[in-house]
């Protein structure tokens, strides 16, 4: 069994003060289905408390009224080596969030900040693994944004095409576990992207549909601890068998917007 060493992380998070489902931009969102706002806040606080309990540092961006999806901080940017590629949202309902992230990075001393020309939804579609970014496209991020990421962030970018609208962001179908390991749901990808993933990560944990549908892949790993939605029990067992420590959390309210653990978490590298 490999000895898993956690690496301390810095995460940007946004309190779900204005969280709600008032529009539908992915198949999980049903504005007629009520959300429990207090429970959403409690679930988000639990995720944050797990991170701080593990020794990770949390930075906060202020939630904006009128932006019910802003809790999904992963979508705000991609940060590698202190260089920031800001997001440009696909849907008008979230477009204004980009300016808040722009202001946050400016106020927090980041200098190499790039405002993108093409749509990219931050770490929703750009997942950093070692010195490589796995970059999703198909529903949200423009494939041309992969070139912007390569140019501005200066690391290798590997494009992957998503084909199932339920898994509309890469981070709903794939999670980075360490600098060379992933877990993913193959059926969410085009045939050529599946072949590519098999070639690049032959030892990957392959998720079943049941775990993928409860957003088990919307997980955050520090190299040892993997925080993921509680109902993804088969994935938790597979992680434990590889020497990871799975930590299940309840994300019932966040799921109503089509998000879970990773969506709430933007890593500041
Ligand atoms: N309702 C949000 C949207 O559709 C959810 C975003 C989830 N974030 C993520 N990183 N997958 O944009």
Q: Please, what is the Cα angle at 22 between 85 and 145, to 5 degrees?
A: 20
Which strands sit side by side in the sheet containing 225-229, from one edge to the other? Answer: 220-221, 225-229, 245-249
Q: Is 138 in the pocket of ligand 1 (CB under 6 A)?
A: no
pLDDT on residue 258: 98
Answer for the pair 190, 216: CB distance below 8 angstroms, yes or no.
no
Assess whether the C-beta atom of 159 lies below 6 angstroms from ligand 1.
no
pLDDT tens string 25-69? 999 999 999 999 999 999 999 999 999 999 999 999 999 999 999
Is the pTM above the cut of 0.75?
A: yes
Q: What is the CA radius of gyration of the chain?
A: 17
Is there a contact between 43 and 25 (Cβ–Cβ < 8 Å)? Answer: no
Work out the mean pLDDT of the chain and round it to a whole number. Answer: 98
From ligand 1's centre to the CA of 13, what distance in Å?
Answer: 14
Over the stretch 244-258, which tens digit does the pLDDT of each residue have?
999 999 999 999 999
Total Cβ atoms within 10 A of residue 237:
11
Q: Is the pLDDT of residue 2 over 90?
A: no
Average pLDDT rounded to a whole number, residues 128-151: 98
SS (H, E, C) the chain: CCCCCCCCCEEEECCCCCCCCCCCCCCCCCCCCCCCHHHHHHHHHHHHHHHHHCCCEEEECCCCCCCCCCCCHHHHEEEECCEEEECECCCHHHHCHHHHHHHHHHHCCCCCEECCCCCECHHHCEEEECCEEEEEECCCCCCCHHHHHHHHHCCEEEEEEECCCCCCCHHHCEEECCCCCEEECHHHECHHHHHHHHHHCCCCEECCHHHHHCCCCCCEECCCEEEEECCCHHHHHHHHHCCCEEEEECCHHHHCCCCCCHHHCEEEC
Which tokens go with 19? 């969280």
Q: What is the pLDDT of residue 66?
A: 98
What distance lies between CA 193 and its chain's CA centroid?
19
CA nearest to 245, candidates 267, 219, 269: 219
* Contact between 268 and 12 (Cβ < 8 Å): yes
CATH of the structural domain 10-267, one choice from 3.75.10.10, 3.40.50.11440, 3.10.310.30, 3.30.70.20? 3.75.10.10
Query: What does the alpha-carbon distance between residue 1 and residue 134 come to, in Å, rounded to a whole number?
Result: 26
Is the separation of the CB atoms in 233 and 141 below 8 Å?
A: no
Nearest ligand 1 atom to the CA of 21 is 1
Q: Is the CB of 173 under 6 A from ligand 1?
A: no
Catalytic annotation, residues: 169, 263
Domain range summary for the chain, segments of one domain joined by +:
10-267
Residue appearing with tokens 């590889």: 242
Atom of ligand 1 at shortest range from CA of 123: 10
Say if ligand 1 is within 6 A of residue 259 CB: yes
Q: Which tens digits make up the pLDDT trace of 173-207?
A: 999 999 999 999 999 999 999 999 999 999 999 99
**Residue 69: CB within 6 Å of ligand 1?**
yes
Q: Is there a contact between 22 and 31 (Cβ–Cβ < 8 Å)?
A: yes
CA 55 to ligand 1 center in whole angstroms: 26
- The minimum-distance atom of ligand 1 relative to the CA of 89 is 12
- Whether 1 shows a pLDDT value over 90: the answer reads no
Q: Is the pLDDT of residue 225 over 90?
A: yes
Strand partners, 245: 225
pLDDT of 3 reads: 86
């Amino acid at each position: 069994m490999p000895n898993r060493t956690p690496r301390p992380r810095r995460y940007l998070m946004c309190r779900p003060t204005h969280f709600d489902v008032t529009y539908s931009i992915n198949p999980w969102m049903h504005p007629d289905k009520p959300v429990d706002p207090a429970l959403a806040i409690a679930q988000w606080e639990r995720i944050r408390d797990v991170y701080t309990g593990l020794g990770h540092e949390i930075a906060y961006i202020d939630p904006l009224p009128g932006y019910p999806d802003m809790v999904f901080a992963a979508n705000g940017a991609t940060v590698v080596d202190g260089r920031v590629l800001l997001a440009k949202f696909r849907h008008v309902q979230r477009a204004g969030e980009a300016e808040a992230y722009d202001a946050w990075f400016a106020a927090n001393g980041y200098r190499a900040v790039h405002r993108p020309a093409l749509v990219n939804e931050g770490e929703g579609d750009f997942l950093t693994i070692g010195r490589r970014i796995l970059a999703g496209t198909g529903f949200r991020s423009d494939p041309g944004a992969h070139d912007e990421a390569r140019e501005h962030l200066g690391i290798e970018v590997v494009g992957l095409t998503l084909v199932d609208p339920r898994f509309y962001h890469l981070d709903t179908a794939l999670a980075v576990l360490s600098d060379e390991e992933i877990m993913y749901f193959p059926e969410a990808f085009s045939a050529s992207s599946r072949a590519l993933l098999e070639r690049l990560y032959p030892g990957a944990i392959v998720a079943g549909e049941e775990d993928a549908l409860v957003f088990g892949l919307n997980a955050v790993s520090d190299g040892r601890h993997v925080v993921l939605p509680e109902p993804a029990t088969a994935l938790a067992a597979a992680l434990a068998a590889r020497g990871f420590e799975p930590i299940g959390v309840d994300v019932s309210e966040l799921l109503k917007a089509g998000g879970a653990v990773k969506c709430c978490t933007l890593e500041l590298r």
